[in-house]
Structure formats: structure tokens, C-alpha cells
């Protein structure tokens, strides 16, 4: 297992659509282990494979609070089967968009189909924080970020900030190389 670097905005890979897992084999399980270790080290409550540069449909989540025992879940090919009409709102953040938090409204309950660590087909019904985290991570598999669910103005402010920061870093690297 290894902690892997997490991609941040404006890395274009975050906008990529991830490919389905053909089979949950040792390679996929090793990826799941790396993702869990990376998520816990960050720390975060969820991570999608594309956030560590792997464009494959795998997510890991752990909605347990700090004072609760760890409750890791690994999901391959997660798919939302049903979403409630009732909505709920959480202040969301993302390890790929550090230090920015915004209220996002999503369906309050979802039913999700996925393959578990052993490749068995499973379903989970989630509400509360878990429902939000699952939707947030499944979005990543289609290149969708939580900032896509907020106002255009707020999104542009955040995206521009990361673009400027990346430009400054590139310029500093070029100067250092002179």
C-alpha cells in the first residue's frame, strides 16, 4: 500500500470520464488499498481513482466521524439506481480542490449498485452524509466536480484561483531552471 499524490485543479485529468472495471482482480484491489491509504492520510471521507490519476471506475468512502471506528467501503463500477426527490444540503469539499467548501444540494437518499472488493454484485441504500459522499465520488468518475453544482460565479472564482496558482508555480519552476 502507498499514499499516492492527489491531483488538484486545474489538472485536466479531473475532467476525464473513467472506464469501467472489467474484473475486480489483484490489480484493482491494490488500487483500492492505495486509495484508502491516500484518503485516510489526506484526511478525507471519499476518494475516486481519477484523483490519483487512474481513470478507472473505483471509489472509496468512509463517512465515520473522528471518534467512530473506521468504516471503509470500496466500490467498483458504482451506479446510482434510484435517487430520492427529497433533497438535502451539505457543505462539501474535495481533496482535489483544497481549502474550498460550498453548500451543495443533492438527493437526500440514493440506492447504489456496485462490485465489492471480491467482485460480488452488491447494492447499498444510503442517506445522510454517506448519500452525499457517494454521489460526490460517483460524479468524479464522469469528470464532474462539486463546483459544477454551485453558481457559475462562485465556480469561476474558485477555478481562476487554481489556474493563477498553477501559472505562478510554472513561472517559478521556469525561473529556477534558468
Instruction: Report the residue from 14, 45, 52, 94 that binds Ni ion according to the rule CB under 5 A.
Output: 94
Of 129, 141, 154, which Cα lies nearest the Cα of 49?
141
CB of 94 to Ni ion, least distance (A): 3
| 119 three-class SS | coil
Query: Does residue 58 contact residue 35 with C-beta atoms inside 8 Å?
Result: yes
Q: Are strands 73-83 and 109-115 parallel, antiparallel or unpaired?
A: antiparallel
Q: Which is nearer to Ni ion, 3 or 170 (CB)?
A: 3
Bridge partners, 102 (sequence order): 92
CB of 55 to Ni ion, least distance (A): 15
Q: Which is nearer to Ni ion, 77 or 135 (CB)?
A: 135
Of these residues, 125, 137, 169, 171, which one is catalytic? 137
Specify whether 137 is catalytic.
yes
Phi, psi of 13 (to 5 degrees): -60, -25
Count interface residues toward Ni ion (CB under 5 A): 1
Q: Which is nearer to Ni ion, 101 or 168 (CB)?
A: 101
Find all residues with CB under 8 Å of 164, minimum gap 6, and list them.
none
Q: Which range binds Ni ion by CB under 5 A, 55-63, 87-95, 105-113, 152-160?
A: 87-95
CB of 140 to Ni ion, least distance (A): 6
Sign for the pseudo-dihedral over CA of 167, 148, 146, 101: positive
Task: Just list the catalytic residues.
Answer: 137
* Residues forming the site for Ni ion (CB under 5 A): 94
Amino acid at each position: 500500500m502507498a499514499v499516492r499524490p492527489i491531483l488538484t485543479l486545474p489538472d485536466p485529468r479531473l475532467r476525464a470520464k473513467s472506464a469501467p472495471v472489467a474484473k475486480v482482480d489483484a490489480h484493482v484491489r491494490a488500487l483500492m488499498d492505495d486509495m484508502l491509504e491516500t484518503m485516510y492520510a489526506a484526511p478525507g471521507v471519499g476518494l475516486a481513482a481519477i484523483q490519483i490519476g487512474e481513470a478507472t471506475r473505483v471509489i472509496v468512502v468512509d463517512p465515520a466521524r473522528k471518534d467512530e471506528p473506521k468504516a471503509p467501503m470500496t466500490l467498483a463500477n458504482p451506479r446510482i439506481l434510484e435517487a430520492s426527490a427529497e433533497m438535502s444540503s451539505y457543505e462539501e469539499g474535495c481533496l482535489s480542490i483544497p481549502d474550498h467548501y460550498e453548500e451543495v444540494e443533492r438527493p437526500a437518499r440514493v440506492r447504489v449498485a456496485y462490485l465489492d472488493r471480491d467482485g460480488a454484485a452488491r447494492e447499498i441504500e444510503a442517506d445522510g452524509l454517506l448519500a452525499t459522499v457517494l454521489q460526490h465520488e460517483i460524479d468524479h468518475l464522469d469528470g464532474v466536480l462539486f463546483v459544477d453544482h454551485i453558481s457559475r460565479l462562485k465556480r469561476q472564482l474558485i477555478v481562476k484561483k487554481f489556474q493563477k496558482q498553477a501559472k505562478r508555480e510554472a513561472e517559478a519552476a521556469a525561473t529556477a531552471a534558468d
